[in-house]
Amino acid sequence: MGRSLAMTAALAALAVSAPHRLGAQALPAASELVAKHLTAIGGAEAFKSITSLRQSGVMEMPSMGLQAQAENYAAAPNKMSMKASIPGIGEIVSGTNGDVAWQVNPMQGPRLLEEKELVDAREAADFYGNMLLAADRFSKMETVGVVSFAGEQAYQVKFTRKGSGRESTQYFSVASGLLIGSEATQESAMGSTTMVTVLGDYKDFAGRKFPTRSEAMVGPSKIVLKISEVSVNDVPDTAFAVPDAVKTLIKK
């Protein structure tokens, strides 16, 4: 009798714990998911050969009825800039040359980014760190589960940046292996907000696949970016020049 009770208790404990253990064992490592994504978009070596990147397309803010031509530039190791021309409002630019980071828009004027905003901008400009999701940029990469994201099953992976400790969550499609979205806290002039981004419509440009559609939810606002052109290794360094309106703000 005693042995029967002990056996029952042991089986009950196994029944409770086994699904969790098997579930955990079934999850692929974050590094495996990153590698699968890189293979799906053309291979890590193909992306390591890129030293600069230019994307152009249309940016939309449906809730405000706004549409703008947009251009994004990025270059190794840590430069980026963005320009959008909104009819009736004017030109919005932002960027970093790896040292200072800035924003200029008709509503707020020119300003230098500081503290957390500056840290975010520098991390966003980490060319190979972001393009390759390089493991040496993170203190922790952990697959935490399978969830429904943007209408499909996705592996949910948490990343923690070295240095800043900034956390983000990336979503990799179970079916295709492609990175299909992310979630992170975004710093801005109005404070911290959660930004959820959905990536899709991967298309081939010179043997490498890039997402040509992104939908970013920043608080209640949706920003849609539709990319029509992607070119590599043809971005002049002048694309990352500090705007004249910002130069006057830099302390000597």
How high is the pLDDT of residue 25? Answer: 56
How high is the pLDDT of residue 238? Answer: 95
Q: Whole-angstrom Cα distance, residue 22 to residue 16?
A: 11
> Is residue 100's pLDDT more than 50?
yes
Model confidence band, residue 219 (pLDDT cutoffs 50, 70, 90): confident
Q: Is the separation of the CB atoms in 111 and 247 below 8 Å?
A: no
Q: Is the separation of the CB atoms in 134 and 128 below 8 Å?
A: yes
> Is residue 8's pLDDT more than 70?
no
When the pLDDT of each residue in the chain is averaged and rounded to a whole number, the result is: 89
> Is residue 16's pLDDT more than 80?
no
pLDDT tens, position by position, 170-199: 999 999 999 999 999 877 767 788 899 999
How high is the pLDDT of residue 187? Answer: 72
How high is the pLDDT of residue 97? Answer: 95
How high is the pLDDT of residue 99? Answer: 92
Model confidence band, residue 252 (pLDDT cutoffs 50, 70, 90): low
pLDDT tens, position by position, 54-83: 999 999 999 888 899 999 999 999 999 999
Q: Is the separation of the CB atoms in 44 and 208 below 8 Å?
A: no
What SS3 class is residue 224? strand
Tokens of 62: 């449906």
Counting residues of the chain whose pLDDT is more than 70, the rounded percentage is: 89
> Is residue 18's pLDDT more than 70?
no
Helix (H), strand (E) at residue 91: strand 90-96
Residues 237-244 have a mean pLDDT of 95
Q: Is the separation of the CB atoms in 104 and 94 below 8 Å?
A: yes
pLDDT tens, position by position, 108-155: 899 999 998 999 999 999 999 999 999 999 999 999 999 999 999 999
Q: Whole-angstrom Cα distance, residue 5 to residue 27?
A: 34
